[in-house]
A and B are shown apart, each in its own frame.
Chain A
Amino acid sequence: MQKEMIVNKIPAKTWYRLNMNDATVLWDQDNTYSLSQESIETKENETKEVVITVEDDSSSSEHSYSSKNITITAGKASKITAYVMMKAHQNMAINLTLNTEEDATIKLVEVQLADSDAVIVNTIKGTCSDQSSIEVVHFFMGRGQIFSDSQIDLLGKKSRAAFDVGYIGNSPVAGKAGAKGDSIDINILINHIGKKTESDINVNGALKDGATKTFRGTIDFKTGSSYSVGNEQETVILLGEDVINKTIPIILCAEENVVGNHGGSIGELDDDLLFYFESRGIGREEAENIMARASIERVLRLVDNESVREEITNKLEEIL
């Protein structure tokens, strides 16, 4: 039986009428099929790259809910680059745990390629030791309802977290009765606990007709996180008439010697840019597609693996 599951909670509530304090997912926990667990580790000074494809059974009604846990632990001064390709045909939950030891780096690239009726719940919990970093690159390009809930605790001195997110919220599937536009719900929380820690959150995307997106981003400077810096930036291009864009960029600060910034812009392509495109023979629709593509390609530059790049590029061709 489906039950309500609360996800994407923000650490400081605001007015309830805005419906932005959290999100509710309908999930059948009793009938959730457990996919194989993964654990990836590196030894001291080791460098490793892995590609994990997570795909559920599209034909089985018994397996309409699945979950997978992935744990990634980077040993001292090591580096792991992990690519997680989420190919969900039905409802899928993927839970990632990331831990870095001193001077280590985890780079996680997640590519969401779900079918139109899928519900995806993606959680990331991470901790960083001294001088280590966690870099997360997210592509939300599939269909359905996406709930992405991430928390990184910067425990160690000079540790760092970076999120680069690119998304396209698509229109409802043409000709499908009752179809809805995509719904993308992103929550990112970075806790600055250690001294001289750094965080960067960059979220870029485009919303087509009927698509919905919520972005909750929090930089939390805890007492003791002196000389830390956190930046948060969001750009949303609105390409459809019935879009809903919700944004709540939060900075919480209990420390004097820190710097926190957030900035963002939400809207359609401005007239100057459209004029520039038109002066080069490019019409409005094509210009909008170019800018939507740019929001993904900006993040694509951070992907080194050729086969993963190709898969993202192919998906981009398919949806634009």
Chain B
Amino acid sequence: MSEKTYVEDIDRSVYDIKDAEIDNYRIEEGLTPDIVEKISEEKNDPDWMREFRLHSLDVYNKSIMPDWGPSIEGLDMDHIATYVRPNTKMQGSWEDVPKDIKETFERLGIPEAERKSLAGVGAQYDSELVYHNVRADVEAQGVVYTDMESALNGPYADMVKEHFMKLVPPTDHKFAALHGAVWSGGSFVYVPKGVHVSIPLQSYFRLNAKGAGQFEHTLIIVDEGADLHFIEGCSAPKYNVANLHAGCVELYVKKNAKLRYSTIENWSKNMYNLNTKRAIVEEGGTIEWVSGSFGSHVGYLYPSSILVGRGAKMEFTGVTFAGEGQNLDTGAKVVHAAPETTSYMNTRSISKSGGISTFRSSVEVRKNAHKSKAAVSCQSLMLDSQSRSDTIPAMDIRCRDVAVGHEAKIGSISDDAVFYLMSRGMSEEEARALIVSGFADNVSKELPLEYAIEMNNLIRLEMVGSIG
């Protein structure tokens, strides 16, 4: 009797180690004007931000829940603590970070990665950053990399006020409004004109607290002709109650600038990941998204790009792995709002053990986007019949002289490909393992080597059994 090919779940043991909540400040569960005011007070917000939070709460209360994606019925805001502050201030040296928190980040490999391959690191633990540092040579180039709270109250306060939630206004959707009301933590980056940051910056978000939400805000401005690679990582231990992540990323890519934004998302399987990411790209600018979605119970994630300048470019490369108990709705959006703009989406998704993955996208080409080009390619692999895989790409084209292409494929492991590899001397088991791991290489080959290795470790697809 033949045994069905078995694909191992992602090994999560390193991510599932929980720290005890000792001497943390934890706001009461729920969402009321009082709670929002308390968060604002805790964070020493300027007046405009306090008013912005209360306005966002009002928008949240008037907005409807999305009914077009995965169910979020299990998320009860009355049982989510929207602010949990660890018992430490933000430090500039790992030596000063409390031992248990430092060990958590060491297990995740963050200090080591900083030493080897990063220009700067921000590490957030629950609602606040506990560590932030940037290399002196990068700082000397005029690059600003700091936590959002320091930026909001420091020399860049006007720049923050000018850009904060202008790309993703609270009216965008219910969870953008929630973010506006209770945001905390995150990073602010400014790369001055013409500066090329040769090695990446990284922010890592760790949500340790049970039944809590994390709402970090990332604001990056890459000025004219500048260049940056920013890496975002996130993880959480698994609990038997819902946790929520509703972060917001706003990226401003100025004329002829380039920004690559890479994410390895590995939230625990009790997490509702309702994140919003958006970039606006000016003339000749480029935004590149690299996205790996592995964790979360439910995910809604569609980085969007608005190409407003002639010749602006967008590229999205993504992989989604949905295992048991996961419903991951991922994809991308692009708006071509200027001539000669180009976009390319290239995604892979894998569904196994009852997991549901949905690729959802939109390509909008406005009337003035003459000579623009867009291409969408999505491939999905079904590893069993308990799982689901859907593709829902939408295109709205309103300009004549454009070229828009789309292609999608859903299938299982090809017997022909297995046969070909076996004819080159591989066993069937090896051949299948190679095909499945190679399926996700569109993302791993776009990451720096250290992160590609981490991602491959994350996937760790193991094949066992004799295949008849």
Q: Chain A interface (Cβ within 8 Å of chain B)?
A: 12-16, 18, 20-21, 221, 223, 226, 236, 238-268, 270
B398 in contact with A257 (CB, 8 Å): no
Using known A-B contacts A246-B394, A252-B390, A256-B383, determine if residue A15 contacts B403 with beta carbons closer than 8 Å: no
B388 within 8 A of A: yes
With an 8 Å Cβ cutoff, the count of chain B residues facing the other chain is 37
Q: Which residues of A contact B384 (CB under 8 A)?
A: 256
A259, B400: Cβ atoms under 8 Å? no
Bound CA span A258–B408, Å = 14
Residue of B nearest to A21 (CB): B68
Q: How far is the CB of A251 from chain B (nearest CB, A)?
A: 5
Which B residues fall within an 8 A CB radius of A? 67-68, 358, 360, 362, 367, 380, 382-385, 387-412
Q: Contact: A251 with B408, CB < 8 Å?
A: yes
User: When A244-B398, A250-B391 are in contact, do A258 and B410 touch as well, CB less than 8 Å?
Assistant: yes
Q: How far is the CA of A245 from the CA of B367 in the complex (A)?
A: 11
- Quick one: which of B68, B367, B384, B390 has the most chain A CB within 10 A? B390
Q: Which residue of B lies closest to A18 (CB)?
A: B394
Chain A residues whose CB sits within 8 angstroms of the CB of B401 once the complex forms: 238, 267-268
Contact A15/B362 with A249-B408, A264-B405 known, Cβ cut-off 8 Å:
yes
Query: How many pairs of A and B residues are in contact by the CB < 8 Å rule?
Result: 130
Residues of the B chain whose Cβ atoms lie less than 8 Å from the Cβ of A266: 395, 397, 402-405
Partner of A256 from B358, B385, B391, B397 at Cβ < 8 Å? B385
- Apart from A223-B385, A245-B398: 16 A-B pairs, beta carbons within 8 A: A12-B390, A14-B68, A16-B68, A241-B400, A243-B397, A244-B398, A246-B394, A246-B396, A247-B397, A251-B391, A256-B385, A260-B411, A265-B404, A266-B404, A267-B401, A268-B400
A253: which B residues are within 8 A, CB to CB? 380, 382, 388-390, 410
| Min CB gap B340→A, angstroms | 14
Chain B residues within 8 Å of A13, by CB: 67-68
Residue of B nearest to A262 (CB): B408
Q: Within the assembled complex, what's the spacing in Å between the Cα atoms of A253 and B379?
A: 12
B400 adjacent to A249 (CB under 8 Å)? no
Which residue of chain B lies nearest to A244 when distances are taken between CB atoms in the complex?
Answer: B398
Separation of A13 and B398 alpha carbons in the complex (Å)? 22
* Residues in A neighbouring B404, C-beta threshold 8 A: 265-267
Instruction: Give bound CA distance, A239 to B397, whole Å.
Output: 13
- Could you say which residues of chain B place their CB within 8 Å of the CB of A247? 394-395, 397, 406
Q: In the assembled complex, which residues on chain B have CB atoms less than 8 Å from the CB atom of A238? A: 397, 399-402
19 example contacts (A-B, Cβ-Cβ < 8 A) are as follows A12-B358, A14-B392, A236-B397, A238-B399, A244-B398, A249-B393, A250-B390, A251-B390, A253-B389, A253-B390, A255-B382, A256-B382, A256-B385, A256-B412, A261-B407, A265-B403, A265-B405, A266-B405, A267-B403
Contact A248 B393 (CB under 8 A): yes
A251: chain B residues within 8 A (beta carbon): 390-391, 408, 410
Output the residue of B67, B380, B409 with the most chain A CB within 10 A.
B409
Which of A13, A15, A18, A259: most chain B Cβ within 10 A?
A15
B residues near A259, Cβ cutoff 8 Å: 409-411
B406 near A264 with CB under 8 A, answer yes
Question: Which chain A positions have C-beta within 8 A of B409?
Answer: 259-261
B67-A254 in contact (CB<8A): no
CB of A250 within 8 A of CB of B392, answer yes
Assembled-state Cα–Cα distance A261/B391 (Å): 10
- Name the CB-closest residue of A to B64: A16
Query: Hey, which chain B residues are within 8 Å of A240, CB to CB?
Result: 400
A254–B398 touching, CB < 8 Å: no
Which of chain B's residues have a CB closer than 8 A to the CB of A243? 397-398, 400
CA distance A255 to B380 in the complex (A): 12
| Among B402, B403, B407, contact of A263 (Cβ-Cβ < 8 Å) | B407
How far apart sit A246 and B393, CA to CA, in the bound complex (Å)? 11
Give chain B residues whose Cβ lies under 8 Å from the Cβ of A250: 390-392
Q: Which 3 residue pairs are nearest across A and B when measured between Cβ atoms?
A: A13-B68, A267-B403, A266-B404
